[in-house]
Amino acid sequence: MGGDKPTFVLIHGYWHDSGSWTPILPLLTRAGYEAHALDLPGAGSNAKVPQSYRRRPFDPAAFATEPSPNAGVTQEQRTQAVVDRVRAIGRPVVLVGHSMGGATISDVAETIPDSIAAAVYLTAFLLAPGTPPIAIMQHETMAAALVPSLFSADPEKAGALRLNPLSGDADYAARFRRAFYGDVGEAELAEFIPHLHPDEPLGTAVRPSAVTKLRFGKVARHYIRCTEDNAITAAGQDFMIAAADAALGTATATYTMEGSSHSPFLSRPAELADLLTGIAARA
């Protein structure tokens, strides 16, 4: 399978795992592409969660103060895990990063640029050189983002950006849905949410992007904008694209999914797969 076609490597975002791509993988396979999705260190099968997360009755005070067992995971470990997978594939790949997965695919492209046919940012963090993700999270273009309202612990004390996907609070659950899954069906979402994990290591959010014009700058960049995203606002997406283009001196090819939430892999997988295979065909 694949022939001369590039292989897809799909990288999930914060609080998610490789299962995010389950609706997409068979569509890419049907189109003749080999595709891989993996759990990053600290995510999915590799995630460690606070003991208070699943304890019932739930104790919000304990959850708000328990140090994160995921706090020691680094961006370098996540980057290396993907580099290892790309090298094992042994041919050029199209890297797709969702949300904070964008920070990882940028680092991978910086590390092994000649192995990357294209880097695709799905409403993701496309960081200009030297920019930490937290600077984008706190930028004025992200003022309307709902994710900060979901934080369930002090990041400095917990060592993590902590959400509560399993919250039984109706208001919190509604904001959680609006932040990430505004156009996802209720039944599908109910099946998906238990696979999320609560803690993302703070260190990965404060580490400045290490990309350079010389290496990362020569990799073709593509950005898929989602206009109704309440996790990374449309204004935030556009700001990152403009800042990266100005710093690198080359243009990011952009595509728009009108009306899409933060999670088109769940709500509009066929449309997303068509965009990805179109990008791969031009890579």
* Beta strands 35-38; 7-11: pairing state: parallel
DSSP string, the chain: --TTSPEEEEE--TT--GGGGTTTHHHHHHTT--EEEEPPTTSGGG----HHHH-SS--HHHHHHSPPTTTT--HHHHHHHHHHHHHHH-S-EEEEEETTHHHHHHHHHHHSGGGEEEEEEES---PPTT--HHHHHTSGGGTT-SGGGG--S-HHHHTEEE--TT---HHHHHHHHHHH-TTS-HHHHHHHGGG--SEEEHHHHHSPP---TTTGGGS-EEEEEETT-SSS-HHHHHHHHHHHHHHHSSPPEEEEETT--S-HHHH-HHHHHHHHHHHHHH-
**What are the tens digits of pLDDT across the range 113-132?**
999 999 999 999 999 999 99
* Beta strands 35-38; 93-98: pairing state: unpaired
Query: Is residue 100 predicted with pLDDT exceeding 90?
Result: yes
| Dihedral sign computed on CA atoms, order 78, 102, 70, 67 | positive
pLDDT for 159 equals: 98
> What is the share, in percent, of the chain residues with pLDDT greater than 90?
98
The burial class, CB within 10 Å (0-12 / 13-18 / 19+), for 4 is exposed
In degrees and rounded to multiples of 5, residue 232 shows phi and psi of: -120, 105
Measure the CA–CA gap between 71 and 39, rounded to whole angstroms: 17
Query: Is residue 228 predicted with pLDDT exceeding 60?
Result: yes
- The band of 221, judged by pLDDT with boundaries at 50, 70 and 90, is very high
Measure the CA–CA gap between 98 and 187, rounded to whole angstroms: 22
Of the candidates 204, 225, 273, the residue with the CA atom closest to the CA atom of residue 21: 273
What the chain holds in terms of domains, given with CATH numbers, is: 7-282 (3.40.50.1820)
pLDDT for 3 equals: 64
- Stretch 99-124: mean pLDDT: 98
pLDDT for 129 equals: 98
> What is the share, in percent, of the chain residues with pLDDT greater than 70?
99
Query: Is residue 237 predicted with pLDDT exceeding 90?
Result: yes
pLDDT for 4 equals: 84
Tokens of 103: 């920070």
pLDDT for 257 equals: 98
CB distance 208 to 123 below 8 Å: no
**What are the tens digits of pLDDT across the range 28-87?**
999 999 999 999 999 999 999 999 999 999 999 999 999 999 999 999 999 999 999 999
Of the candidates 8, 13, 77, 16, the residue with the CA atom closest to the CA atom of residue 37: 8
pLDDT for 10 equals: 98
Query: Is residue 106 predicted with pLDDT exceeding 90?
Result: yes
Query: Is residue 2 predicted with pLDDT exceeding 90?
Result: no
| Dihedral sign computed on CA atoms, order 169, 174, 180, 186 | positive
